[in-house]
Amino acid sequence: MLSLVPTPIGNLKDISQRALEALKTAQIIFCEDTRITKKLLNLLEIPLNKEFISMHSHNEKEALSKLNPELLKTKECVYVSDAGMPGISDPGSKLIQYCQKNGIPYTVIPGANAALTAYVASGFEGEFCFWMFLPHKGKERLDKLNEIINSGKIAVLYESPHRIEKLIKELKELIPQREVFLAKEMTKVHETYIKAKAKDLNLPNTKGEWVVVIDNGESKKDLTLTYDDILNLSLPPKEKSKLLAKISDKSAKEIYKELQNG
């Protein structure tokens, strides 16, 4: 049998009794990162007399193709991601699909999850949608942001410390009056909550993992950016020219020259 086991997102005391029992009795543990899982078990004082199998986003398909279904049927197996609930912006879903396809019994133990915790902490009410991580740059990122802020639902998404300032800048440009809630390093020593209108957001520092919750706003008007909107954004000329090229008949090179010439 397979058990998907959530692990603490920061505070070790958030591990549940069911999760502890599953980890203790497991004969095989599939891990996003075996080193992190072994460190966790050491902290929980659980013996490492188990088989550890690496299964992450880069090798998941290959690992499953080599897996014998009888192993999961006859052994006590566990899957854990590095932190939080497997399958939510982490590997785990394909392993569940494998169990469904091969008639393997499985269970999912409820537990820690950054997205849900941040949504509750935000104080916003209503339907929400989890968007995981945004694309890093370009038209794909801009399109996704437009989709999020026009969805009519509260948006929950993750952002890295390397890009949180970029996201805040984008939100100030796109939805200055919309309320935004930021949660940093949840359940950890330096847990921080910030709630303000997008235009008023200021970060004391960017270190740590971030969850961003964006209110759906009272206005549902179309916020899709036009050529002039992009032209007025405070972006570097090269990045701006690439975005403008996507919605015009000019090349990014031509637009860049025009921007340079004023």
Q: 115-224 in CATH: which number?
A: 3.30.950.10
Task: For residue 168, give both structure tokens.
Answer: 């805040």
- Give this prediction's pTM: 0.79
The residue ranges of every structural domain in the chain are: 2-108, 115-224
Q: Residue-wise pLDDT tens for the chain (262 aa)? A: 999 999 999 999 999 999 999 999 999 999 999 999 999 999 999 999 999 999 998 998 999 999 999 999 999 999 999 999 999 988 899 999 999 999 999 999 999 999 999 999 999 999 999 999 999 888 899 899 999 999 999 999 999 999 999 999 999 999 999 999 999 999 999 999 999 999 999 998 899 899 999 999 854 444 566 777 788 887 888 888 888 887 777 888 888 888 888 6
Pairing of the two strands 179-184 and 51-54: unpaired
Task: For residue 173, give both structure tokens.
Answer: 């440009």
Give yes or no for a contact between 192 and 120, defined as CB atoms under 8 angstroms apart: no
- Considering the segment(s) 2-108 as one domain, its CATH architecture is 3-Layer(aba) Sandwich (3.40)
Q: Say how far apart CA 30 and CA 227 lie, in whole Å.
A: 49
At residue 243, the 3 state secondary structure works out as: helix
